[in-house]
A = this chain, B = another copy of it.
Amino acid sequence: MINWKNLDTLASFEKLASLEKVNLAKAMSGEEGAERVKKYTAFMGAEMDFNYGARPVNDEILSAMKAFAEEAQLHEKFEALFSGEVINTGEKRLVMHHMTRGQLGEDVVVDGVNKREFYLEQQKKFTELANKIHNGEITNAAGEKFTTVVQIGIGGSDLGPRAMYLALENWAKVNGYFKMKAEFISNVDPDDAAAVLKNIDVAHSIFVLVSKSGTTLETLTNESFVKDALKNAGLDASRHMVAVTSETSPLAKSPDYLAAFFMDDYIGGRYSSTSAVGGVVLSLAFGPKVFECFLAGAHEADEIAREKDIFKNPAMLDAVIGVYERNVLGMGTTAVLPYSQALSRFPAHLQQLDMESNGKSVNRFGEPVDYATGPVIFGEPGTNGQHSFYQLLHQGTDIIPLQFVGFKNSQMATDVVIQGSTSQQKLCANVAAQIVAFACGKDDENKNKKFAGGRPSSIIIGSQLKPKALGALLAHFENKVMFQGFLWNVNSFDQEGVQLGKVLAKKVLAHETDGALKVLSDLMNI
């Protein structure tokens, strides 16, 4: 029997909050520090480990966290989710993105449709499309191969797929998996589409229009932009476009598209990278095999997230520690810092994933909660960030928990030795050094050069950023966010907060405004 209870009604949370806090600077020093880093680690799948030696925990706190996770029924709630319970209560929907990448749990049948088969069928369909485009069975009207794929979508139809593409682009290039360059058009700013269209060869481009509802205004506007460009080039748009949408959308059976691939209401936009939303563009860019490996990695992390034992379940552990930092230690922001240039847009994806999922003020029953929920998430790749905002992270007046990601090996295997070490070694040395610098700090007579320390972090250490590792990394954070939603008792799968702006923007365009909105509209020359 599952109980959906507010965080502040759980006795185990009260207990956890009452425990003496860790002095991280002390705990991470000397032999104790070495022991922590050795001991506080959990396997994440795909040759990756989650190391939480520098998070503000100790054995006593961890034991209380275990009880907290149990009282909050994190394991049971996840089981219920993938077994077909209506977890998205606001919209009365199932949450099925895990099924796009594997075999968790039993089959789930909705309205006579076996969802596992449905997702597999879509994957099969876009695998075929990719193969036919790669082998020249599907070409442009002149019989020439397509060389570029352009995704048109916004939010979850853009950030996740774009971050995943960038994460694998260079790896694919040096390993023989690179099939087509991908570009992305997202913003309603006309300069976005115009700039992309200026830089590509439209005659050899295939466009992937992504909108679940088929009514996303930004996306339809950008589609029109693209159709104009194709028309102006004397091309038949319907030979250059495919759609990713829901079966009930106006796009689903339109003759405007070469093909349509389906998602459904049970895949939230920000959780859709492993569905056709990410699958079409990634399969075209790198081939279906690469996409399969990516799914396999996500599935491996999903299986690990099913573990009942929190100490073998890094997503659950990361979630509980994060809530502790947010609600017990009062830290309102989290930085995501991948030491990998290929993950340049991964923080932007996590920003959506996390903030759109858990940036809520009411619980899953629509009742206001009395505690802080989702934090602000931001980040940039290291070592770049070290020369930028790390100043505040080290010496600012607020403490910001940090989530590092690092890989032992580079993607392209081209390197140079300077001052006795390779660039990859320097990269790895820097992330190791930062963890200790943040945790332990350093005293100095000159207080301007003093580092207080006590700044918590964890690190995900992988062997190399390959498709499988990327999938596991993505799923880790998806599952972490889900577990945190369970702890805060919010619905992590709706987004009512985006509606009001849409409604008011329509009024502005219809010139149905008064008061401040009318003045602002005039100032913007609308």
Contact = CB atoms under 8 A, between A and B. Distances in A.
B448 A494 contact: yes
Contacts of A503: 433
A356 B224 contact: no
Contacts of A423: 188-190, 193, 221-222, 225
Contacts of A449: 496, 499
Interface in A402-426: 406, 408, 410-412, 414-416, 418-426
A213 interface: no
Interface string A385-397: 0111111111111
A29 interface: yes
A37 B497 contact: no
The A contact surface, by secondary structure, is helix
Interface string A29-61: 111011011100000000001010110000000
Contact of A516 (B333, B408, B439, B523): B439
A505 B433 contact: yes
B421 A509 contact: yes
Contact of A526 (B400, B429, B498): B429
A159 interface: yes
Contacts of A194: 170, 410, 412, 414
Contact of A359 (B218, B220, B392): B392
A83 interface: no
B352 A442 contact: no
Contacts of A419: 217, 509
B508 A34 contact: no
B368 A447 contact: yes
A28 interface: yes
Given A333-B333, A362-B395, A433-B502, 18 more contacts: A54-B516, A170-B194, A170-B195, A194-B414, A217-B418, A221-B416, A352-B387, A356-B389, A359-B395, A361-B395, A366-B446, A374-B392, A374-B397, A428-B524, A429-B505, A429-B506, A433-B504, A461-B524
